[in-house]
Structure 1
Amino acid sequence: MFGLPPEVGLREAAEALNLSLTTAYRQVRNGSFPCPVRSAGRRYVVRLSDLLRALGIQEVRVRYDDIEAGARVAAGEVDI
């Protein structure tokens, strides 16, 4: 959905949280990183939904009907 990956690497998560990579690794090691982190082979990954929650961004479900209705309003086909 929207071209976003389901998981991001620790570097991307740290950048989004305005942390240096060194600080992010330190927080992962001591268990204080702002969201759950899992090891995937030799790298750390963070679920995008957990990262968005840590950033205070609400996950919103978008329905196809809402997109269609919004397109009709934007095209001037429907008065609001």
Structure 2
Amino acid sequence: MARHRDESVPFSVIFGLPAEVGMRVAAKALNLSMATAYKRAKLGDFPCRVRKEGRVYVVGLHDLMRGLGIQDVRVRYDDFEAGARLADDGSGF
């Protein structure tokens, strides 16, 4: 399937970030101790949406980014490719 030049993808996808993270990563990103993170998750007071898979808590990356106030902006392929060319031209700028 041919790609249209005006297509865009989320920033997180371009950099290969995982779709989900575990409680340890989420707690560290939110500057919470593990004990506080688990306590808040059990009380339904975690700073972002969390779900339980078996005995493990999982946080969607998009939800974590939103909880941190980070917007997962969409990046156009043309802009990404132009930036890669600029970085690869050896000029340093």
- TM-score normalised by the chain length of structure 2: 0.73
Matches of 1:73 and 1:4 in 2, distance apart? Answer: 23
Amino acid in structure 1 at the alignment position of 2:67 = A
Do residues 26 (structure 1) and 71 (structure 2) align?
Answer: no
Unpaired segments of 5 or more residues in structure 1? 76-80
Alignment correspondent of 2:22 = 9
Amino acid in structure 2 at the alignment position of 1:39 = K
- Root-mean-square deviation (CA), in Å? 1.6
**Identity over aligned residues, as a percent?**
67
Which structure's residues are more often strand, by fraction?
A: 2
Report SS of the residue matched to 1:62: strand
Higher RCO structure, 1 or 2 (CA under 8 Å, sep 6+): 2
Report SS of the residue matched to 1:8: strand
Amino acid in structure 2 at the alignment position of 1:46 = V
Matches of 2:54 and 2:48 in 1, distance apart? Answer: 19
The total of aligned residue pairs comes to: 76
Do residues 59 (structure 1) and 69 (structure 2) align?
Answer: no
Unpaired segments of 5 or more residues in structure 2? 1-12
Structure 1 segment 59-78 matched on structure 2, within 5 A = 59-72=72-85, 75=89
Matches of 1:72 and 1:9 in 2, distance apart? Answer: 35
Matches of 1:13 and 1:20 in 2, distance apart? Answer: 10
- TM-score normalised by the chain length of structure 1: 0.83
Give, in angstroms, the shift of residue 73 of structure 1.
5.0
Per-residue Cα deviation, 1:49-79 (whole angstroms, up to 9, x for no partner)? 000011111111111111123345554xxxx
Report SS of the residue matched to 1:46: strand
